[in-house]
Amino acid sequence: MIFDSYEAYRAANFTPKVCILGSGPAGTTIARKLGAAGIPVVVLEAGSREFSDESQDFYRGTTVGDFYFDLDITRLRFMGGSSNHWAGWCRVLDKQDFEPKAWVPDTGWPIRRTDIEPYLPEVRDILDLPAFRPDMPISDDIRWVQLIKSPAVRFAEKFGDELDKAKNIAVVLNTCVTELAGDGKRVTGARLWSNGQDAGSFSADYFIICTGGLENSRLLLWSNQRSNGGVVPNATALGRYWMEHPTFEGGNAILADYNAFEVDAVNEAFFSPTLAAMERLQIMNFGIRLIETPYPGVKSLIADLACTAPSMAEWMSYQLSQRLRCAAQLYVAWEQAPLASNQIELSKTDVDHAGAPRIELHWKKTELEHRTLLEGLRLFGTTLIEKNLGRVRIADWISNGQDYPTNDETAGHHHMGGTRMGTDISKSVVDANCKVHGMDNLYVGGSSVFCTSGQCNPTTTITALACRLGDHLSKVVTV
């Protein structure tokens, strides 16, 4: 059932066991799992069926530190969440992303990739994905990896009918949870905001927060402040260890044979380091995206190469004259080290229409990340030489240690961490089952539980974790 207002929902006299906040990929997936298990579940969704400026305005905030996107353009606040404009690039975090990196503090998850692998067939159905292919090492240092460009499932569009017909799922639109109340053991209720005003308190046996990788932290920080620590009793790590995938054009490659790698429909291929290479160089994971360079770009590369390696420049000119593809731009996205100082805080001066403080995001890239970018491109360049595949040119700003450009991709719109998973309560917020430490009935869904970011887009892993949490709750919740 889908209700367009809280009043309409109230009139239906539906009694849920579980209350999910947010109808993005995480919330929708968990609701479908619980619904299928016969558990009555309500999904409270702040937005409506369509985008509106009024709803989106709740997402405004500020960033302190490195340049980042405006917080109200890097996500969407209506039914289906940011799946309404995601690009659909899919890959599961690597096995090694779950394991601790001895050379980077605070890495490693309390679960392993094998814990989510059983859910991958389900994830493929949900996200309309073909089979995943294993990575292919092209040298001791570099893997040729698969990043599936999926049809970018819009969750509200794909599952809207199913949710509407489901008898034990109620999706309530235009209903925002402004804060949770708790007594340090249980969430006792949720404060609602609907139709531009306070709509009273809401209760259910279990609450699952799936409001996105920025908003999950904000809601918990605000709720905890209002209830004197009664919602997240161990809050040292709350809002902290926030991560993105910084993404920048890192240079170019000339390729002896562009067809050496099976490129996708838009002539792109992806490469990542092996664990051994990361360990040897003490760097983070990264993904190099190879994109065909447009004609003018090839010409300036030839000019650049002419005085350094003239015969190679000559070869390129010939390729170009034959209209053969021979050059690529290299975009690099990389894993950020989890840092407590990269964090979501509540603004002290700015509140939204419902009176909740807006986000102040503190985000800075570190020296380790610059090294990951530089050494990553060097690894790739060396591999291309050793395998007679081509040559790499690293962008000047990287070699010269200059500032990150502000006119580049910047990041992936991937909001990770803030309520990270772990066993150490001083460094994590949820346990291996995504349950908030110390709370009996509060869970978190989405990439805010990520301990590390890996290098790939998060939604495939978010969906797998949501399937796992749905299964877990199906066993825990009694009807």
Partner 1 sequence: MSFFIKKMSRRAIVQALIALPALSLFRKLPDADASHADPSRADPSHTGASRADPNEIVEVNGWILRRSDLA
Ligand X SMILES: Cc1cc2nc3c(=O)[nH]c(=O)nc-3n(C[C@H](O)[C@H](O)[C@H](O)COP(=O)(O)OP(=O)(O)OC[C@H]3O[C@@H](n4cnc5c(N)ncnc54)[C@H](O)[C@@H]3O)c2cc1C
Q: Contact residues for partner 1 (CB under 8 A)?
A: 251, 304-305, 307-312, 377-378, 381-382, 384-385, 391-396, 399-401
Check binding of 359 to ligand X (CB under 6 A). Answer: no
Nearer to ligand X, 78 or 363 (CB): 78
| One residue of 313, 373, 462, 465 binding ligand X per CB under 6 A | 462
User: Smallest distance, Å, CB 306 to partner 1?
Assistant: 9
Nearer to partner 1, 113 or 393 (CB): 393
Check binding of 417 to ligand X (CB under 6 A). Answer: no
- Rounded to whole angstroms, the Cα distance separating 122 from 83 reads 18
User: Smallest distance, Å, CB 272 to ligand X?
Assistant: 16
What track of x and - describes contact with ligand X for positions 435 through 454 (by CB under 6 A)?
-----------xx-------
Nearer to partner 1, 324 or 385 (CB): 385
Who's near 451: CB < 8 A, 6+ residues apart? 106, 107, 108, 109, 110, 241, 338, 417, 420, 421, 422, 428
Instruction: Answer with the entry of ligand X, partner 1, none that 176 interacts with (C-beta below 5 to 8 A by kind).
Output: ligand X
- Rounded to whole angstroms, the Cα distance separating 177 from 194 reads 9
Strand partners, 391: 254
Instruction: Answer with the entry of ligand X, partner 1, none that 158 interacts with (C-beta below 5 to 8 A by kind).
Output: none
Strand partners, 177: 192
User: Smallest distance, Å, CB 317 to ligand X?
Assistant: 36
For β-strands 343-351 and 357-363, DSSP reports them as: antiparallel
Counting every residue written for the chain, the total comes to 479
| One residue of 45, 141, 352, 369 binding ligand X per CB under 6 A | 45
What track of x and - describes contact with ligand X for positions 52 through 71 (by CB under 6 A)?
--------------------
Check binding of 144 to ligand X (CB under 6 A). Answer: no
For β-strands 357-363 and 61-65, DSSP reports them as: parallel
User: Smallest distance, Å, CB 309 to partner 1?
Assistant: 4
Nearer to partner 1, 395 or 465 (CB): 395
| One residue of 1, 51, 67, 88 binding ligand X per CB under 6 A | 88
Who's near 19: CB < 8 A, 6+ residues apart? 41, 42, 44, 190, 202, 204, 206, 207, 208
Nearer to partner 1, 263 or 312 (CB): 312
User: Smallest distance, Å, CB 380 to partner 1?
Assistant: 8
Q: Tokens 């996708």 — which residue?
A: 264
Strand partners, 145: 270
Half-sphere exposure of 86 (CA within 13 A, CB side): 27
User: Smallest distance, Å, CB 331 to partner 1?
Assistant: 16
- Rounded to whole angstroms, the Cα distance separating 338 from 265 reads 34
Nearer to ligand X, 23 or 247 (CB): 23
- Rounded to whole angstroms, the Cα distance separating 9 from 31 reads 17
Nearer to partner 1, 2 or 316 (CB): 316
| One residue of 16, 27, 182, 470 binding ligand X per CB under 6 A | 27
Rule CB under 6 A: which of 157-216 touch ligand X?
176-177, 210-212, 215
Could you give the angle at which helices 25-36 and 459-476 cross, rounded to 10 degrees? 30
- Rounded to whole angstroms, the Cα distance separating 359 from 344 reads 6
User: Smallest distance, Å, CB 155 to ligand X?
Assistant: 8
Check binding of 287 to ligand X (CB under 6 A). Answer: no
| One residue of 2, 34, 39, 44 binding ligand X per CB under 6 A | 44
Check binding of 297 to ligand X (CB under 6 A). Answer: no
Which tokens is 17 given? 């066991």
Nearer to partner 1, 132 or 397 (CB): 397
Total residues contacting ligand X (rule CB under 6 A)? 39
Q: Is the Cα dihedral 199, 205, 211, 214 positive or negative?
A: positive
User: Smallest distance, Å, CB 64 to ligand X?
Assistant: 21
Cβ-contact 172, 9 below 8 angstroms: yes
Question: Which one of the spans 25-33, 98-106, 237-245, 432-440 is the region binding ligand X (CB under 6 A)?
Answer: 25-33
- Rounded to whole angstroms, the Cα distance separating 206 from 37 reads 15
- Rounded to whole angstroms, the Cα distance separating 208 from 211 reads 9
User: Smallest distance, Å, CB 464 to ligand X?
Assistant: 11
Q: Tokens 């979501």 — which residue?
A: 344
User: Smallest distance, Å, CB 83 to ligand X?
Assistant: 5
Cβ-contact 288, 332 below 8 angstroms: yes
Nearest to 335 by CA among 101, 63, 148, 25: 101
Q: How far is CA 359 from CA 87, 364, 420, in A?
A: 25, 16, 18
Who's near 5: CB < 8 A, 6+ residues apart? 172, 173, 174, 175, 194, 195
Check binding of 46 to ligand X (CB under 6 A). Answer: yes
Which tokens is 203 given? 């209760």
Nearer to ligand X, 398 or 411 (CB): 411
Binding site for ligand X (CB under 6 A): 21-27, 44-47, 74-75, 77-78, 81-83, 85-89, 176-177, 210-212, 215, 219, 413-414, 446-447, 457-460, 462
